[in-house]
Amino acid sequence: MKTLTTLLTATALTAVSASAVLAEKWDMPLAYSASNFHSVTAAEFAKCVTTGTGGDIEIATHPSGSLFPGAQIKRAIQTGQVPIGERLLSGHQNENALFGVDSIPFLATSFDDADKLWEAAKEPLSELLAEQNLTLLYSVPWPPQGLYFRDEVTSVADMEGIKFRSYNNATSRLAELTGMLPVTIEAAEISQAFATGVADSMVSSGATGYDRKVWESLNYFYEVDAWLPRNYIMVNSEVWDGVSDANKNVITACAELAEYAGTWRSKEYTGFTLAGLRAGGMTVEKASETMVGELKEIGETMTAEWLEAAGEQGQAIVDAFKGMQ
């Protein structure tokens, strides 16, 4: 009897420790607020993986840059400090111009075109990330980018000397070319930056202005539809290699679902958040023809600069995208 009890206890312990080894908890840092549609999509992706893997892999999301601020998320995953996370793709444009393919002004200005551009860019970007110990899982576009100002602006000349919040190289360059003064600030910090006068303008989506309640400081949003930058979800490649084939299939399926659902949410959020900015008291209108014309000229300069920096690979992506028109 004693032997049987010992045996049963030992078996139970073995079972517990085996599942303890199998079950993994993945912390997933996100840079944007919990209510933002990217974060909502990531939370559903996390739930899908946790349920689909039968709890083998439990993903816990950490929004608002609470675990790592946006600018540190990629490095944290590359170096294995966390297994998975989300980042603005064009945030890495300073490492390699290819990462900025989605922030070329007036190249892809609608959700349909942003999808096509992503189709053309996905493979080369996956390869680039793979060289950096990262596996791409899915990507979702932000709504179209427009210009926010404290005061009314009708042409580029009115922008001279305004302090401008940028979020990547392209937005800093846009500020320079319009005579504004760029300062790079993560979305999580912008409400304070506008409230304290560190910045008086930015280019972003209605979504980010709405999430950060910028109507408390800014008064104008001009719809420009200049580009649709993307967030993407990446996993550390060594962690990924250690995942069973069955669980890889689950994660890949959850990622496909998330890309579809996130894109749908992004579209829905576009109108909803512009209405929200209006309700907050902002003037929301299409940018004047003069302003759009001037910005398009600046866009041509930036396109040429990007193609120069991104070389043959960049040209191949743009050509493939244009071939889908």
> Which residues lie near ligand PCA (CB under 6 A)?
88, 142, 167, 187, 204-205, 207-208, 229
Q: For ligand PCA, which is the closer residue by CB, 203 or 239?
A: 203
Question: Shortest Cβ distance from residue 169 to ligand PCA (Å)?
Answer: 13
- Sequential DSSP letters for 200-269: SEEEE-HHHHHHTTGGGT--EEEE------EEEEEEEHHHHHTS-HHHHHHHHHHHHHHHHHHHHHHHHH
Question: Shortest Cβ distance from residue 140 to ligand PCA (Å)?
Answer: 11
Q: Which residues contact 112 (CB under 8 A, 6 or more apart)?
A: none
Q: Which residue number has the CB closest to ligand PCA?
A: 205
Q: For ligand PCA, which is the closer residue by CB, 52 or 206?
A: 206
As a whole number of Å, the end-to-end CA separation of the chain is 77
Q: For ligand PCA, which is the closer residue by CB, 26 or 142?
A: 142
Question: Shortest Cβ distance from residue 121 to ligand PCA (Å)?
Answer: 17
Question: Shortest Cβ distance from residue 216 to ligand PCA (Å)?
Answer: 16
**How many whole angstroms separate alpha carbon 306 and alpha carbon 301?**
9
Question: Shortest Cβ distance from residue 114 to ligand PCA (Å)?
Answer: 12
Q: For ligand PCA, which is the closer residue by CB, 248 or 278?
A: 278
**How many whole angstroms separate alpha carbon 192 and alpha carbon 188?**
9
Q: For ligand PCA, which is the closer residue by CB, 56 or 189?
A: 189
- Find the largest Cα–Cα distance for the chain: 91
